[in-house]
Structure 1
């Protein structure tokens, strides 16, 4: 794990507000977190520079764009040497349909989040990955039927409490 950035309660307030209102102006942000504009802007730029804020983007409602399929695939790779992990990860990064991937502990090595226009496209993607010989030993996939809930924010208050203790 990477060491935690040194953050205080104002930094966490800035982060929490930007998660909810990413398009707010610095004036609105400063007012929301209880700082004057200049220190608020300095803190926000610092959070960007140290990589805590990775970027800003729109929250797209894919269901409004037409049909698509969301799939979670559990992938086990055949060999567990560092070059094998890198080879797999580099190959996965080349496919825009794979929107998130996680190297995980447990019964498999990676959890992939895949968005495809349809099941046939997803199936073709998995066949390409298998043909590319990137070390996939086996995979299991789950097609999402319905999204029950979705949070766009993180539990920053819990993280803040941990920072205050430590």
Structure 2
């Protein structure tokens, strides 16, 4: 993990508002957090330069665009060496359908979130990863039947990240 960036109460208010409404103007953001526009813009710039604020992404409803499947896969790697993990991670990162890759503890080494156009495309991705010979000894799959809920926000207030 990287070192934490020192943030104050206003920084957290900015982040909280931006993650809920990243498309707002600087004037709207400043009013929402109780700052004037110039210091608000300076704080947003500082948060961006520090890497805390990584960008402003569109929240796309894939279901309105057509058919797709979401799959969670548990991956176990044969050798537990830093280089073995790095090799697997690079291979996974090169497949755009793999949207999330978590190195985890427990019964497997990684959990992947894969969004593919079809079950056959997912099978191609799985087969490709296995054929790359990147150390996979177990590949377990969970197909999402429906998304009960999802949040694009992080509970900053309840994480007690403020000093």
Q: Normalization by structure 1: what TM-score? A: 0.95
User: How far apart are 1:33 and its partner, in Å?
Assistant: 0.3
Query: Unaligned stretches of 5+ in structure 2?
Result: none
Aligned residue in 2 for 1:163: 162
Aligned residue in 2 for 1:122: 122
In 2, Cα distance between equivalents of 1:97 and 1:53? 24
1:4-153 correspondence runs (5 A): 4-153=4-153
Cα RMSD after superposing both structures = 0.9
For these two proteins, the number of residue pairs brought into alignment is 163
| Cα pair 2:103 2:110 within 8 Å, conserved | yes
| Cα pair 2:98 2:115 within 8 Å, conserved | yes
What are the Cα deviations for residues 54-77 of structure 1, in whole angstroms up to 9, with x where unaligned? 111100101111100000000000
Q: Normalization by structure 2: what TM-score? A: 0.97
Query: Unaligned stretches of 5+ in structure 1?
Result: none
1:36 and 1:16, CA in 2 relative to 1: closer, same or farther beyond 3 A? same
State the 4+ residue runs in structure 1 displaced beyond 3 angstroms: none
In 2, Cα distance between equivalents of 1:46 and 1:105? 34
In 1, Cα distance between equivalents of 2:2 and 2:94? 25
